[in-house]
């Protein structure tokens, strides 16, 4: 079995951990939430790169065989440097604009992501590879991450802010919406409340976990034992509330795993 590190600015990457526990329950996981510093999306590129690198080095020092950067923002800004400095597989997350372009019927696709992701060279390079016939309506989801971090994903306040952010996407006639931040899958209920079933939602957690699985197979870490592995939840802010949020947000039953939480001390 492998030990897998999953890292995000906060609770968003739990959407990836959830999928990983579904597809690869036998492995052991360390989930690292840098909630004391969320949101990353409004921070400078240098800061995001340095912090993400430090946290991935920390996970590698704990013995992780692979790390999932379960954050679009950290992937966009830092994955190249993290891969250059660590010798274990590093799997990143990118907004699913490619599958969205393939699935959209009318070629109009909304992309909801952080400011930093939308501005990043990596995202814009990916965008440039896609066919011209597709139009992408890019919208920053400013303010949404703090609400989700505060456990308010389904609140009226979130609905109000979300409806403002979705307005340009809807006005343009988008039939597909890319959830380009790992926190946003936790807004599905609110998005459906506002938009009904008329829009296709794209998130990439399934593809990310399939990529993780391929990498583990290359390392010969297969997942064929019947037992569920352990989950260690580490927070830079409040480990008890991370555990409570994980129990609330994950569709997997955490009781099937041996689960612990811990506080992240200074990492630099």
Minimum gap (Å) between residue 34 Cβ and ligand DGL: 8
Residue 181 among the catalytic residues = yes
Minimum gap (Å) between residue 76 Cβ and ligand DGL: 8
Q: Is 107 left (phi over 0), alpha (psi -120 to 50) or beta?
A: left
Whichever of 10 and 229 has its CB closer to ligand DGL, that residue is 10
Minimum gap (Å) between residue 255 Cβ and ligand DGL: 26
Whichever of 10 and 96 has its CB closer to ligand DGL, that residue is 10
Whichever of 78 and 181 has its CB closer to ligand DGL, that residue is 181
* Cα(208)–Cα(67) distance, integer angstroms: 11
**Nearest residue to 236 via CA among 54, 95, 18:** 54
Q: Residue 52 is encoded by which pair of tokens? A: 């993400």
Torsion angle in degrees (nearest 10) through CA of 174, 178, 181, 183 = 90
Whichever of 10 and 110 has its CB closer to ligand DGL, that residue is 10
Whichever of 115 and 175 has its CB closer to ligand DGL, that residue is 115
* Cα(116)–Cα(120) distance, integer angstroms: 6
Name the 3-class secondary structure at 4.
strand
β-sheet bridge partners, residue 81: none
Which residue in 56, 64, 71, 134 is the catalytic one?
71
The counts of H helices and E strands in the chain are 11, 10
Minimum gap (Å) between residue 111 Cβ and ligand DGL: 12
Question: Cα separations (Å) of 142 from 105, 164, 165, 181?
Answer: 28, 11, 8, 11
Whichever of 145 and 178 has its CB closer to ligand DGL, that residue is 145
Which residue in 56, 64, 134, 181 is the catalytic one?
181
Question: For strand 135-140 and strand 108-113, is the pairing parallel, antiparallel, or unpaired?
Answer: parallel
* Cα(222)–Cα(24) distance, integer angstroms: 9
Minimum gap (Å) between residue 146 Cβ and ligand DGL: 9
Residue 64 among the catalytic residues = no
Which residues of the chain form contacts with ligand DGL (CB under 6 A)?
8-10, 12, 38-41, 71-73, 114, 117, 145, 181-183
End-to-end CA distance of the chain: 29
Minimum gap (Å) between residue 105 Cβ and ligand DGL: 27
* Cα(6)–Cα(55) distance, integer angstroms: 10
Active site residues: 71, 181
């Amino acid at each position: 079995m492998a030990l897998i590190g999953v890292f995000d600015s906060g609770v968003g990457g739990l959407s990836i951990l959830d999928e990983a526990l579904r597809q690869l329950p036998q492995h052991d996981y360390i989930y690292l939430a840098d909630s004391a510093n969320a949101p990353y999306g409004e921070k400078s590129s240098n800061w995001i790169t340095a912090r993400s690198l430090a946290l991935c080095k920390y996970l590698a020092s704990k013995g992780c065989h692979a790390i999932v950067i379960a954050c679009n923002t950290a992937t966009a800004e830092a994955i190249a440097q993290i891969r250059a400095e660590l010798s274990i597989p590093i799997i990143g997350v990118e907004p699913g604009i490619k599958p969205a372009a393939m699935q959209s019927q009318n070629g109009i696709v909304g992309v909801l992501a952080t400011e930093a992701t939308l501005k990043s060279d990596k995202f814009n390079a990916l965008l440039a590879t896609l066919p011209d016939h597709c139009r992408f309506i890019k919208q920053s989801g400013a303010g949404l991450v703090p609400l989700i971090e505060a456990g308010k994903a389904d609140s009226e306040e979130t609905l109000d802010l979300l409806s403002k952010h979705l307005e340009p996407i809807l006005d343009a006639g988008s039939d597909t919406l890319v959830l380009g931040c790992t926190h946003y899958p936790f807004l599905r209920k609110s998005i459906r409340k506002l938009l009904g079933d008329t829009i296709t939602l794209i998130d990439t957690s399934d593809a990310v976990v399939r990529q993780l699985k391929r990498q583990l197979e290359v390392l010969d870490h297969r997942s064929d034992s019947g037992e569920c592995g352990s989950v260690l939840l580490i927070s830079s802010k409040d480990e008890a509330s991370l555990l409570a949020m994980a129990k609330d947000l994950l569709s997997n039953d955490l009781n099937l795993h041996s689960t612990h939480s811990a506080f992240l001390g200074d990492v630099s």
